[in-house]
Amino acid sequence: MPDWGKQGVLTQAQAETMAKFLQQEPPAPPEMSLEQMKETWKVTIAPEMRPTEPQHSRDWEDFFAVTLRDSGEVAIIDGDTYEVVNTVKTGYAVHISRMSATGRYVYVIGRDGRASIIDLWLEKPEVVAEVKTCYDARSIEGSKYKGPEGDFSDKYAIVGCYWPPHFVILDGQTLEPFKIVSTRSYTYDTEEYHPEPRVAAIVASHYKPEWIVNVKETGQVWLVDYTDPIAPSIKMLEAERFLHDGGWDASRRYFLVAANQANKVAVVDAKEGKMAALVETDKIPHPGRGANWIDPEFGPVWSTAHLGDASLVAIGTDPEGHPDSAWKVVRNVPVLGGGSLFVKSHPNSPWIWVDHGLNPDEKVQRSVCVIAKADPTKTEKCWEVADYGRAVHFEYNREGTEVWVSVWGRADQPGKTGEIVVYDDKTLAEVARIPNLVTPTGKFNVYNTVHDVY
């Protein structure tokens, strides 16, 4: 504690009062019931009042949902014309946007627990429903399975909360919440009760009517069958602490998730419903959804860079075709610096892109690098994306020909609040700037997010 007594900030009596206050047991944070959630639930356009076909001629499957972090908004931007089609009010500091199975709807979750659904078929895409299911949240997803067990496209949504520690199942079109499941349980390794196991990444399986729910503090991956969502069936896999973010391998069978404080990547086999591997990485892997590519020597790999190390690792993901490389770090490529938040690639791209948004060095913060798939031993090229802010997060357009990079500025610095820089993916030449955005961060292309292309 600072020496506020010596500094004269507090009197002796005030210091004693402060000391007594600090010694009190802090009260437990409030819970949230279904009734409380429903009080926040608003449907501004009911499903039956929504259009039955797109009300505009834009290529909505090439729209990008862009998080404007500090303004509590999402910008819907046209991938063909770079025009901001609409900017909609959402929860604060949106952590992620996910598309419904058809791509028509964008599910958005604010860090404040406010979930929103945006209808891209409206003449002007707009929030059509919202609800607050947590005080603190990071994840949202739709139901994507369509197959012998049913068509669950756009049917349900799920929100994962940090507090209260639970997940909530909602109607996929209205966001009406109807089922809450607590994640409070025991750590997978020492089997100690944990009162606050936060829900990190959630993804929808392509193999089964199932969500993969990553529970951070207990190190468990829960496979949540949503066939009968009132009575969900949950398989509780043991993975590693502290699960954070991750994505699919190229086959969409394996989900790779960073256990960031354990310096590991946990691999879930979504087809068999079990753990496939735990892979040791460098310090604090932070993949976003990661990057898939075909290594010239080791075959299909999935990559992550790190918050704590200046490196990108590639992990073999093809146990059948390349058993010797499977679930091993087959490449460790030095990058410009640590503090990397995201990597990205595309099946059509010659590159793997890497950012360093949380690097302490200002020049590194605003730089991105590319590694050539043809020679994945070094970075091919690095450059500063802007002369201010942090360069962060990549997304490809629908065709995989252009890469969008965010310049995350400061909301209180006019002219330097942020922008998106668009590059030609073949030549790395700058194609366009989408200016005057307030702290843009994550960007989610409709087609690529529906089909998990990355």
Q: Which residues bind a second copy (CB under 8 A)?
A: 25, 31-35, 164, 166, 179-182, 184-186, 190-193, 228, 230-238, 274-275
**Helix/strand number for the chain, H first, E second:** 4, 37
Residue closer to a second copy by CB (options 39, 83) is 39
> Please, what is the minimum distance in Å from the beta carbon of residue 69 to a second copy?
30
Quote the CA–CA distance of 344 and 212 in Å, as a whole number: 21
> Please, what is the minimum distance in Å from the beta carbon of residue 212 to a second copy?
13
HSE-up of residue 430 (Cα within 13 Å, Cβ side): 11
Residue closer to a second copy by CB (options 59, 136) is 136
HSE-up of residue 116 (Cα within 13 Å, Cβ side): 28
Residue closer to a second copy by CB (options 30, 414) is 30
> Please, what is the minimum distance in Å from the beta carbon of residue 46 to a second copy?
23
186 class by beta-carbon count within 10 Å (0-12 exposed, 13-18 middle, 19+ buried)? middle
> Please, what is the minimum distance in Å from the beta carbon of residue 179 to a second copy?
7
DSSP 391-408: EEEEEE-TTS-EEEEEEE
Residue closer to a second copy by CB (options 274, 426) is 274
Quote the CA–CA distance of 383 and 379 in Å, as a whole number: 11
Residue closer to a second copy by CB (options 53, 191) is 191
DSSP 7-49: TTSS-HHHHHHHHHHHHSPPPPPP---HHHHHHT-EESS-GGG
Residue closer to a second copy by CB (options 269, 384) is 269
CA 434 from chain center: how many Å? 22
> Please, what is the minimum distance in Å from the beta carbon of residue 398 to a second copy?
38
Q: Is 62 helix (H, G, I), strand (E, B) or coil?
A: helix
> Please, what is the minimum distance in Å from the beta carbon of residue 286 to a second copy?
26
